[in-house]
C-alpha cells in the first residue's frame, strides 16, 4: 500500500506539472511566458523523475502524510488554492501575493498573536517579501505578472 501511495501522489504532482508546462508553452504572448516555461520545465523534469522512482519502488520517503500533518497544512492549502485560482487575477499579482503571504505567515508563525510586536514583525517581513518579489519579477526578470485591480 505504501508504494501505491507514493505512485499516486507523485503521479498527481507530475500531472499538475505537465498541465502548468502545457499552459506556459501554449499561451500568448509567448515572451511573457518565458520565465514560467523555464520553471515549469524544471518542475516537470523533477516531478517525472520522482514519479519514475515511485513506480520502480525506489522512493526513499516516509509513510506519507499523517492526518495531523494534513490538518496543519489545510489552512495553507486553502489560502494557496484561493490565491492561485482567484486572487492573483482578481486583485492583482502583487496585492494578492502580499495578502496571501501575510495570512500564511500569521497562520504558521509561532509568535503570539496577542502582542503588537509580533504583528509589526509580520508586517515588516511581508513588506520585505513584497519588495523582493517586485524586484525579482518586475525589475530583474522583466516578466509579465497578472495586473488587474491594484497592480
15-43 pLDDT per residue, tens: 988 998 898 888 887 776 777 788 889 99
User: Can you read off the three cell numbers belonging to residue 94?
Assistant: 502583487
80-98 pLDDT per residue, tens: 999 988 888 888 888 899 9
What mean pLDDT is predicted for residues 57-76?
80
Predicted model pTM: 0.66
Give the 3-state secondary structure of residue 143.
Answer: coil
Amino acid at each position: 500500500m505504501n508504494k501505491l501511495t507514493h505512485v499516486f501522489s507523485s503521479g498527481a504532482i507530475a500531472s499538475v506539472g505537465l498541465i502548468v508546462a502545457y499552459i506556459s508553452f501554449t499561451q500568448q504572448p509567448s515572451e511573457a511566458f518565458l520565465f514560467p516555461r523555464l520553471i515549469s520545465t524544471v518542475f516537470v523534469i523533477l516531478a517525472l523523475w520522482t514519479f519514475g522512482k515511485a513506480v520502480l519502488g525506489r522512493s526513499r520517503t516516509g509513510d506519507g502524510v499523517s492526518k495531523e500533518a494534513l490538518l496543519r497544512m489545510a489552512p495553507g492549502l486553502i489560502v494557496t488554492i484561493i490565491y492561485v485560482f482567484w486572487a492573483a487575477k482578481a486583485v492583482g499579482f502583487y496585492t494578492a501575493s502580499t495578502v496571501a503571504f501575510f495570512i500564511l505567515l500569521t497562520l504558521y508563525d509561532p509568535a503570539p498573536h496577542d502582542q503588537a510586536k509580533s504583528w509589526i514583525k509580520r508586517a515588516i517581513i511581508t513588506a520585505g517579501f513584497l519588495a523582493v518579489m517586485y524586484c525579482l519579477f518586475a525589475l530583474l526578470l522583466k516578466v509579465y505578472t497578472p495586473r488587474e485591480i491594484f497592480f
